[in-house]
Amino acid sequence: MIRFYKQRYLYFTISICLILLGVVAAFVNGIQLDIQFKGGTILKYTYSDTINAEQAEKIVGQALGRTTNCQLQSNMAEDEQKLIVSLASNEALTSQEQEAATSALTKAFPNAKLSLSESLTVEPFIGKRFFINGMISIGLSFLLILMYVGFRFKNIGGLSAGTMAIIALFHDAFIVTTAFIVFKIPINDSFIAAILTIIGFSINDTIVIYDRIRENERLLGKKVSAEELVDLSITQSMSRSINTNIAVFVSITVVYIFAQVYDIGSIRAFALPMMFGTISGCYSTICIAGPLWTMWQNHKKKAKSAVKPSNA
């Protein structure tokens, strides 16, 4: 049996260091909002031959004097390739600026046969509303998880179990956010998707451990302390959690490699943070949620024992 509770402060220190890394990265790199959340203009070009997305970003950025994000998109069914140029800004591009961007790209990639197929403008208030709705969806997921865990595990202190699970999920969400900041990935709809996906994976592992705690408490009763109960339950469930997360990590890594090879930015922006989130979800389930729940149970036990003499 591995003594997870005994090493809890080491695990908490690691988590705090990762959180501080995210805070420092936010100050150094800043938090970039993509066009979906900030507003701006999206230009979609069809092309043939080969285009480098990073080079396209520099060319458009120099032509317009604005920060640009370029992604390549392939449609295998229609045998079509697209270059998507996103310019997040409070002001939409004028027709002259669109012509300047198109002209610069055409000169830089003369063999690509670039053609502007679509131009979309996202108003700032629409982006703000989309961002708020995304945050609301994440908040609702936390609330529903708290209610579900609180009801299902009421025999082991449902509200406290749910609260500790939510703290672990906040930890995972912050690690995913840190990945976006450190790798300078603009926060967009992929961010919301990655957060919600990691929340689902992580809470599933936590529920498995809580279920084991409940079963062992029923079998062992008062024979073991809360520390031993949790350590035993985590040890019994650990191999399942690790194997599941390894399978997910390998799958996401394959997706990331595919996106890297074919330079598909939208998939890469989702897969890379997911890789870190998968590791974090496994770590928080094993090293954070269980020890935190044990600390709370010990706190309640001490509080009850302190109240009894005064009532006698």
- Which range has highest mean pLDDT (52-66, 242-256, 293-307)? 242-256
Give the DSSP letter of residue 34: -
The kind and range of the H/E element at 74 are strand 69-75
CA proximity to 71, closest of 92, 87, 49, 93: 87
The model's pTM is: 0.80
Q: CA torsion angle for 303, 306, 311, 312 (degrees, to 10)? A: 140
* Amino acid residing at 250: V
Question: Residue 79: pLDDT band by 50, 70, 90 thresholds?
Answer: low
Nearest alpha carbon to residue 7 among 290, 243, 204: 290
User: What's the pLDDT band for 312 if we cut at 50, 70, 90?
Assistant: very low
Tokens of 231: 């350590």
CB-count exposure of residue 261 (10 Å: 0-12, 13-18, 19+): exposed
- Greater model confidence, 258 or 312: 258
Mean pLDDT of 11-24: 93
For residues 147 and 76, the model is more confident at 147
Show me where the domains of the chain are located: 8-33+127-303, 40-122
| pLDDT level of residue 78 (50, 70, 90 thresholds) | low
Report the topology of domain 8-33+127-303: Multidrug efflux transporter AcrB transmembrane fold (1.20.1640)
159-218: pLDDT as tens digits: 889 999 999 999 999 999 999 999 888 888 889 999 999 999 899 999 999 999 999 988
SS3 94: coil
| pLDDT value for 123 | 77
- pLDDT of res. 251: 93
DSSP string, 233-292: HHHHHHHHHHHHHHHHHHHHHHHHHHHHHTT-HHHHHHHHHHHHHHHHHHHHIIIIIHHH
Q: Residue 301: is its pLDDT beyond 90?
A: no
- pLDDT in the model for residue 268: 87
Residue that the structure tokens 């309640």 belong to:
300
Please compute the mean of the pLDDT values over residues 223-252 and round it to a whole number: 90
Task: Write out pLDDT tens, residues 247-286.
Answer: 999 999 999 998 888 777 778 889 999 999 999 999 999 9
**What's the fold here for domain 40-122?**
Alpha-Beta Plaits (3.30.70)
